[in-house]
């Protein structure tokens, strides 16, 4: 027979009104093995807390969004992003200047050729960038990272003039510590080897007794203190012997070069670096080639003849040494 689900009435109390019995139509089919019916009372929540199955409660409404303040447009998906605020131009310039100062004091530096002692390799008016790291003293760690090395024969070097360190010279290194140097009839010998010097420039065939036969002949003009010391203490069997920590430098224009023949050796500590590139070349007036000062006539000449006197073929030209065995 079908099983009936009996509902037990709640206790009579003011808070719990009487609940009518379930209708007879609420009948479940009996299983093959009917389970025992639990006749224990069932607690039913008060009518006020019951949830209606006919209609669910509506979801609470979202609070209205606050209106944007006056004067500020609403930001939507189509609105462009706000512009980045301008940077502080003064601070950027300060950082740029400090960076350039760091580079010019430790990495590269600009120089200009004031004389013709290195013609035809370097001309008057050539503006150079000099690599100051090439011959810099190597540190315990940096020597494995940066290409430090000692000056070699044939390198073009930039150095402080030993007689006046406020001046800067550019010459070719032809002798390193321990080398024996001599010149015989304009021909340079290093360690008894006659050098092939394609870079050398001889303007005339005139033979000067001291300049072109060095150091066997007596000087025909006053020498600097370094030159006198060189002839007195570093000449052996008619050859100049380069002492430790010193270098012998000569100009490629041998007839017009104030070099180690006249003022002695270049101390290692005085070597600044080597030229990397001619970034600009300008043909300066003949009467102003021996000065580095920028004068009013120079400025006028530069403004007036910038395009006609600029040596365009020399600009942006790399500067290379010539290996001497």
Inter-residue contact 112 to 129 (CB < 8 Å): no
Spatial separation of the C-alpha atoms in residues 224 and 173, rounded to whole Å: 19
Which helix (H) or strand (E) is 229 found in, with range?
Answer: helix 225-233
Inter-residue contact 180 to 188 (CB < 8 Å): no
Q: Please provide the size of the chain in residues.
A: 325
How would DSSP label each residue in 239-304?
EEEPPTTEEEEE-SBGGG---HHHH--EEGGGEEEEEEEEEEEB---GGGTT--S--HHHHHHHHH
Which one from 25, 52, 91, 171 is the annotated catalytic residue? Answer: 171
Is 117 designated active site? yes
For 131, residues 6+ apart whose C-beta sits below 8 A from its C-beta are: 107, 108, 273, 274, 275, 276
Spatial separation of the C-alpha atoms in residues 321 and 318, rounded to whole Å: 10
How would DSSP label each residue in 11-55?
P--SSSPPPPPPPTT-EEPPPSSPPPP--S------GGGPPPSSS
As annotated, the active-site residues are 117, 171
């Amino acid at each position: 027979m079908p099983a009936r689900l009996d509902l037990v009435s709640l206790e009579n109390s003011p808070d719990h009104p009487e609940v009518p019995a379930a209708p007879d139509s609420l009948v479940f089919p009996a299983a093959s093995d009917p389970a025992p019916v639990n006749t224990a009372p069932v607690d039913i929540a008060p009518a006020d807390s019951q949830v209606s199955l006919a209609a669910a409660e509506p979801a609470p409404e979202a609070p209205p969004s606050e209106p944007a303040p006056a004067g500020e447009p609403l930001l939507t998906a189509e609105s462009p992003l706000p512009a980045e605020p301008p940077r502080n131009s003064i601070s950027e310039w300060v950082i740029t200047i400090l960076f350039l100062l760091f580079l010019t004091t430790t990495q590269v530096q600009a120089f200009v050729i004031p004389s013709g002692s290195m013609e035809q390799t370097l001309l008057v008016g050539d503006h150079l960038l000099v690599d100051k790291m090439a011959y810099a003293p190597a540190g315990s760690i940096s020597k494995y990272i940066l290409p430090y090395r000692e000056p070699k024969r044939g390198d073009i070097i930039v150095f402080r003039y030993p007689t006046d360190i406020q001046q800067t010279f550019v010459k070719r290194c032809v002798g390193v510590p321990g080398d024996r140097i001599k010149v015989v009839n304009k021909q340079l010998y290093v360690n008894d080897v006659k050098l092939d010097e394609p870079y050398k420039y001889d303007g005339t065939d005139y033979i000067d007794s001291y300049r072109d036969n060095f150091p066997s002949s007596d000087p025909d003009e006053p020498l600097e203190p370094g030159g006198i010391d060189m002839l007195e203490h570093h000449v052996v069997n008619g050859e100049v012997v380069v002492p430790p920590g010193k270098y012998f430098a000569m100009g490629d224009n041998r007839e017009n070069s104030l070099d180690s023949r006249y003022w002695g050796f270049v101390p290692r500590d005085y070597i600044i670096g080597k030229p990397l590139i001619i970034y600009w070349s300008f043909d300066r007036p003949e009467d102003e080639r021996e000065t580095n000062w920028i004068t009013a006539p120079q400025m006028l000449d530069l403004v007036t003849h910038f395009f006609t006197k600029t040596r365009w073929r020399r600009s942006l030209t790399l500067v290379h040494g010539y290996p001497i065995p």
